[in-house]
Structure 1
Amino acid sequence: METPLLTIKAEAAAAADYAPVRSFGEAMKVSWKEAVKLWRVATLVACTSLFQYLVQSITTVFVGHLGDVELSAVSLSLSVICNIPFGFLLGMATALGTLCGQAYGAGQVGQLGIYMQRSWIVLFIACIILSPVFIFAAPILKFLGQEHGIADPAGVYSLKIIPQMFSYAINLPTQRFLQAQSKVLVITLIAFAALIIQTGLLHLFINVFGLGTTGAAVAYDITNWGVAIGQVGYVMVCCKEEWTGFSLLAFREIWDFAKLSLASCMMVCLDLWYSMSISILAGLLPNAVISVGSFSICMNFQNWEIMLLLGISAAVSTRVSNELGKGRPRAAKYSVCVAVLLALVIGSLAMVAIFVSGDYFAMIFTSSGDMQLAVSRLAYLLGVTMLLTSATQVLTGVAIGGGWQVMVAYINFGSYYLVGLPLAIFLGFKADLGAVGLWGGMMSGNALQIFFLLILTCRTNWDREVEQTTKRIKKWRSKETITDEICS
């Protein structure tokens, strides 16, 4: 059995918090200690996130060499159609991360398996409700103004990847269950195996059998379900204390859990749909194939960085939720400060790398000269966006750990949809700046979001957050106790 990185013995709740930092030397000592704790979790989660995204990205690479239309169609399906349900499902699973992390920190490990099963049920029902998005993908894309030559093949591809959506109903809650306990090594190994399998399947189905985008879709379905089955198998075999088997308690309090999940999903949905909206607008520009393709390539590179940052985001989310559950406000606060500094360093390095390779990195995805030129025009804006994204991801992780999802949803709505999106439309179409204007408007929304998130984080009273966490744990624990008495 994998040993948890964060111990949760019952006496941990009474463990001493950090002493107040009163000198630079003490600050450096605490920073080093927190950095080690964060990286022990973040390194594996970052690798996991990167491997998982590369499964999608390697699909785009293989399809991109079939032709520009295939690249744009599959990119539109993955970045628009898939993001609509994925935003809901990922956001709903976020609620499980908050509950599991705080319960784990408080030593109530017996509740984790019940929470996970309940999330499986809620997300599976959500998948059924969201299936029409894939079924009617082509009409949806045409309604959004996309060219028929791209929307029709994107719709066909979307139909073929419906099975992978249902895998998320199992995959996402199981990941949150394991991450809350810092049992991330197994997730990383499964994700790496999935990347290798996906690459092999793509080569077999596309290059050997010549199945084109159909082969890409089949490979995507097989790989995603393989990940879900692998993670559940590990939980059932190796998490004996947290997993006590299937229970009818999972069907209790479903509506309350669904409401909590829906509140959490709005934060993630508003974030994912913002990038999706920009991709849709790119399809309305002249020469839509080049515009959508160049945006897809740039967002692929941005998402590679995001996958690395998700490691730190997940680590700080786990640290914050665990420490709040243990009643240690200073430990939670100091972990936030260290995580933000680490993320900014990564963002700065990514920005410099894009600045240096701006004229060349598109060659990984396409051999089209026009596409490469379009990407190079966005390179400097992409670099700055990477720096901004580094702060966004970590501050979002803090919000998940503290259970602030609803507040961040309001911030995302105001920053993205009241400022960023209107400005992108103005710069892209009215000011006739095209793709550069769209990206610039999107970047302004990101900057405003970071400003508000920093204010929210800096003004947080961590002692009060501990009190709120205690109330939340008692509330859900009392529900389980009452339900257990009824069942018995």
Structure 2
Amino acid sequence: MESDGGQTVALLDRSGGDPDEEDQEVAGLAKRSWIESKNLWQIVGPAIFGRVALYSTNVITQAFAGHLGELELASISIANTVILGFNFGLMLGMASAMETLCGQAYGARKFHMLGIYLQRSWIVLFLCAVLLLPMYLFATQALLLTGQPPDLAAQAGAVSILFIPTHFCFVFIMPLARFLQCQLKNNVNAVFSFAALLVHLFITWLFVARLKFGLVGTALALNFSWLTTAAMQFAYVVGGGCTDTWKGFSLEAFVDLWEFTKLSAASGVMLCLENWYYRILVVLTGNLKNAKIAVDAISICMNINGWEMMIPLGFFAGTGVRVANELGAGNGRAAKFATVVSVTTSSVIGLFFWVLIMSLHDKFALIFTSSPIVIEAVDKLSVILAATILLNSIQPVLSGSESKLKNEEV
């Protein structure tokens, strides 16, 4: 349009916006992402390290058993992955309520409530552990009913009974880990888990390689390692490591137990299902022809998947804490942004492991076995394993965020 002076003046800038403003927005987003990543990794980094170290005790157990023989590997896999793993998944899911309640209490600076929630979780999980005992005591009969070969069911059932001490360790370890995590004390969890891993490696080598205790030695070593972890965590918390949040044992822990139980069950449903679905595959595999080889192959793949799964589960826990902290402080938008950053980071890591598995498809089984037949069977499953790892890098993180947001609404 012409002005009075005859000059043309642009009334509307159609260039799409000021480039400087766009650059500032990008820079602002990058800065927010960097700050959120640092906050997230303060929780997630030690959480992943601790979880990987703790899960490695199971991997070491099955690796030593695998080099004893095909039946031994299949038996420890059934006992560890199905019987112990089923109960682990249930109590892991129920303990996840601690992330919501403790995270929000910590964000709202109600520090004394963390100790109360911890004690309530112990009570609920202990009762749950007692109710689950028949799964260990009658494991042989249950496995026979699912179609497992008699020799495999008998040996796996005997090992399952030996795992009862580990079963009760879950009652203390899972709530304690989340209690420390919500206070940004994941470094403590990581140190204890790494110490337990070193102890487990030595004890397993001593019992199996030197003293020749065989399969019984692997189970006893695993019990000892989990007991060591539980004892270190308990001593740290009760002995003065958390003076702001642990005020001693209180009868207040028995208040609102039913409400706490319902929240624990609601928090754990998705995580339980995620944890259980692939354990059912091991049971189904036992019905195939050459059951020992099939169980060996699928359990090796699940061990690798479970090992890597500790990373997205670390993000699951870390995202839950970050979301709960922000919601406790009244920052809903920051909670959503924390979820986006966490999912993106976990996905990139999942893509890396997808490439790694595809590259080492015919070699990674050597950790667990020297049997050429089992190694070949694992190689055939490697593509499915790689795809599973990639998908699992996203779903648990989204579940963690969604459950915390729903619990906030409740």
TM-score by length of 1: 0.77
Question: 1:120 matched to which residue of 2?
Answer: 122
Counterparts of 1:64-83 in structure 2 under 5 Å? 64-83=66-85
SS in 2 for 1:285: coil
CA distance in 1, matches of 2:211, 2:150: 28
Could you tell me which amino acid in structure 2 is paired with residue 194 of structure 1? A
Q: Does the aligned pair in 2 maintain the 1:38–1:315 contact within 8 Å?
A: yes
Q: Which has the larger radius of gyration?
A: 2
1:219-248 superposed Cα distances (whole Å, 9 cap, x missing partner): 111111111111111112111110000111
Q: Does the aligned pair in 1 maintain the 2:99–2:317 contact within 8 Å?
A: no
Could you tell me which amino acid in structure 2 is paired with residue 165 of structure 1? H
Deviation at 1:401, TM superposition (A): 3.2
The answer to whether 1:246 aligns with 2:249 is yes
Q: What's the RMSD between the two structures over aligned residues?
A: 1.4
Match of 2:330 among 327, 331, 338: 327
Gaps of 5+ in 2: 1-22
CA distance in 1, matches of 2:270, 2:85: 14
The answer to whether 1:347 aligns with 2:350 is yes
Question: 1:100 matched to which residue of 2?
Answer: 102
Match of 1:395 among 360, 383, 398: 398
Could you tell me which amino acid in structure 2 is paired with residue 375 of structure 1? V
CA distance in 1, matches of 2:79, 2:381: 22
The answer to whether 1:286 aligns with 2:285 is no
CA distance in 1, matches of 2:289, 2:71: 15
**Mean CA deviation greater in 193-202 or 251-260:** 251-260
CA distance in 2, matches of 1:92, 1:152: 30
Question: 2:13 matched to which residue of 1?
Answer: none
SS in 2 for 1:306: helix
Question: 1:440 matched to which residue of 2?
Answer: none
CA distance in 2, matches of 1:320, 1:175: 18
Question: 2:8 matched to which residue of 1?
Answer: none
Query: Which runs of at least 4 in structure 1 moved beyond 4 Å after TM superposition?
Result: none
Q: Does the aligned pair in 2 maintain the 1:105–1:321 contact within 8 Å?
A: yes
The answer to whether 1:361 aligns with 2:364 is yes
Counterparts of 1:256-275 in structure 2 under 5 Å? 256-275=259-278
SS in 2 for 1:23: helix
Question: 1:26 matched to which residue of 2?
Answer: 28
CA distance in 2, matches of 1:305, 1:278: 18
Q: Does the aligned pair in 2 maintain the 1:316–1:336 contact within 8 Å?
A: yes
Q: Does the aligned pair in 2 maintain the 1:319–1:401 contact within 8 Å?
A: no
Match of 1:172 among 174, 180, 188: 174
Q: Number of matched residues?
A: 387
The answer to whether 1:309 aligns with 2:312 is yes
Q: Does the aligned pair in 2 maintain the 1:89–1:169 contact within 8 Å?
A: yes
Q: Does the aligned pair in 2 maintain the 1:320–1:401 contact within 8 Å?
A: yes
Q: Does the aligned pair in 2 maintain the 1:96–1:176 contact within 8 Å?
A: yes
TM-score by length of 2: 0.92
1:177-218 superposed Cα distances (whole Å, 9 cap, x missing partner): 111111111100000000000011101111111111111111
Question: 2:222 matched to which residue of 1?
Answer: 220
CA distance in 1, matches of 2:180, 2:60: 26
Q: Does the aligned pair in 1 maintain the 2:297–2:374 contact within 8 Å?
A: yes
